[in-house]
Structure 1
Amino acid sequence: MARVVFVPRRRVRGMLIIALAVLGAFWVRIWYQGVKEEQAIQALSWAVANQVVVVDPGHGGIDAGAMGPGGTPEHRVNLAISKDLAGFLKAGGAKVILTRQDDNVPLGESGDDLVERVRLAGKVGADLFISVHCNAFDSRERGAQLFYDPKSAEGKKLAESIQAEIKRLLANTDRVPLSIDAFVLRTQKIPAVIVEVGFISNPEEEKLLADPHYQRRMAFAIYAGIVNYLAGKGTPAGGKPAG
């Protein structure tokens, strides 16, 4: 028969108080770090003032994009993160245009949504074009990654800046930006990037991408990268210079 050990109630209460204090201190530290990071970005928010930014939530309409193993549709994740990103940019003083506000995708006279997304950027005189997508491949693959047009030096700089902030703030990826031949990138004269916010095909990452809190954190990391790029920093906000 196992021996039963009775712990005095006062001792249990003391242990509980210590545990709660340690846990409280941990969350206060996390909150404080988050506040410092946001303050560092806000100190540079002047860089986005009066900028015209087109935020493009990928897919939508009859094209739902990829579907996660748990049933999360890509087009909704793209839209949620894009709306959060638009909110951060507007708060910084930028003029933001979303290529779609809901599941409907304007097809215009061309009948091609990709053509219309690019055409919208030209029509409003956009300074930047940010297209938000989820990646999908093997269920073991994970991590956010940026893509830019190989002929765009500024697109590469923007991609590197955003990738650095996602890596720093979310610590979810060791991937690096890559050049790619994509219609929404090569048909524009302005800095344009595709942000693959993660692999929706990965069950664990799918859960994160479906979480509104994580979506907002991702949007803030993208915003931080845009701010750093426009401020000419080339380094993570509040961080050490690269190299």
Structure 2
Amino acid sequence: MARVVIVSRRRGLKVMAALLAVGAVFLAWSGYRSLEEERAIQALSWAVANQVVVVDPGHGGIDSGATGPGGTPEDRVNLAISQRLAEFLSQGGAHVFLTRQDENVPEGESGDDLVERVKLARKVKADLFISVHCNAFDAREKGAQLFYDPRSPEGKKLAEAIQAEIRRRLANTDRVPLSIDAFVLRTQEIPAVIVEVGFISNPREEKLLADPHYQRQMAFAIYAGIVNYLAGKGPGAGQANRKAP
């Protein structure tokens, strides 16, 4: 009987070793695939070279936005993802302007930070405007979603390109872009979108949104969507794509 037990253990160890080997191969393949996908996007990065992009981390100052059930403030998530996005864009050769660098909001004569964010885009003659926010509603709601101005065909195409990359790369949302009447969208003459990166009101999604690794994944997905849009997988970009009056 003892011999049978020993043989069974040996077989069990062999099976376990085989499973671990398969797991290692899968992880290596997944990492390789992820690396290859990043390289594919980087190969198209010429599309963002010399583009002027304003990245707008939503909220800040006395308005921290929504707060997750675990206490995560929206404005910090928005800023972290925006900063990573700005890094990717800069590495691709874009000229990037953040509407805020820290918890402070842009100040100006208007006294309205939303007005100042739009004014910055006009001042630098931006080609694209990307506003980053977290959604908040019911704790059961989840998933990132893009919004665009209904009068902007190019804004819609940009939103679709970014939404597609978020869905493909993060595989945790089935939402589609929607048009919305928002000040930072309707006052722009360039392709402009709001990226709601997820529901901070959802406990599980809140943890993801507070995770630096996930923040990087989200930022790269947004970047990949921008690259695809500018490279022509969505129609052309820049000054030629300004919103019709």
TM-score of the aligned structures, taking structure 1 as reference length: 0.91
Deviations 1:89-143 (A, max 9, x none): 0110001000001101122111110000000010011100000000000000000
Displacement of 1:6 in angstroms is: 4.9
Match of 1:181 in 2: 181
1:212 aligns with 2:205: no
- Find the aligned partners of 2:36 and 2:45 in 1 and give their Cα distance: 14
Instruction: Mark the CA change 1:190 to 1:15 in structure 2 (over 3 Å): closer, same or farther.
Output: same
Match of 1:22 in 2: 22
Match of 1:232 in 2: 232
**Secondary structure, aligned partner of 2:204:** helix
- Find the aligned partners of 2:5 and 2:106 in 1 and give their Cα distance: 69
Match of 2:150 in 1: 150
- Find the aligned partners of 1:217 and 1:110 in 2 and give their Cα distance: 36
Of 54-63 and 24-33, deviating more is: 24-33
- Find the aligned partners of 1:88 and 1:186 in 2 and give their Cα distance: 27
**Count of aligned positions:** 231
- Find the aligned partners of 2:65 and 2:172 in 1 and give their Cα distance: 22
Give, as a single letter, the amino acid of the residue that structure 2 aligns with 1:197.
Answer: V
The structure carrying a bigger helix percent of its residues is 2
Give, as a single letter, the amino acid of the residue that structure 2 aligns with 1:38.
Answer: E
Give, as a single letter, the amino acid of the residue that structure 2 aligns with 1:49.
Answer: A
- Find the aligned partners of 2:127 and 2:229 in 1 and give their Cα distance: 12
TM-score of the aligned structures, taking structure 2 as reference length: 0.91
1:111-126 paired onto structure 2 within 5 Å: 111-126=111-126
Displacement of 1:234 in angstroms is: 2.9
**Secondary structure, aligned partner of 1:78:** helix
- Find the aligned partners of 1:84 and 1:30 in 2 and give their Cα distance: 23
Displacement of 1:7 in angstroms is: 4.7
Match of 1:101 in 2: 101
Match of 1:79 in 2: 79
Deviations 1:157-188 (A, max 9, x none): 10010001101111111111000000000001
Match of 1:128 in 2: 128
- Find the aligned partners of 2:212 and 2:144 in 1 and give their Cα distance: 17
- Find the aligned partners of 1:72 and 1:59 in 2 and give their Cα distance: 14
CA RMSD of aligned residues (A): 1.5
Of 59-68 and 13-22, deviating more is: 13-22
Of 151-160 and 24-33, deviating more is: 24-33
- Find the aligned partners of 1:88 and 1:228 in 2 and give their Cα distance: 14
Displacement of 1:22 in angstroms is: 1.9
Of 32-41 and 142-151, deviating more is: 32-41
- Find the aligned partners of 2:144 and 2:29 in 1 and give their Cα distance: 26
Unpaired runs of at least 5, structure 2: 236-245
4+ residue runs over 2 A deviation: 5-20
Deviations 1:195-229 (A, max 9, x none): 00000001111111111101000000000000011
**Secondary structure, aligned partner of 1:53:** strand
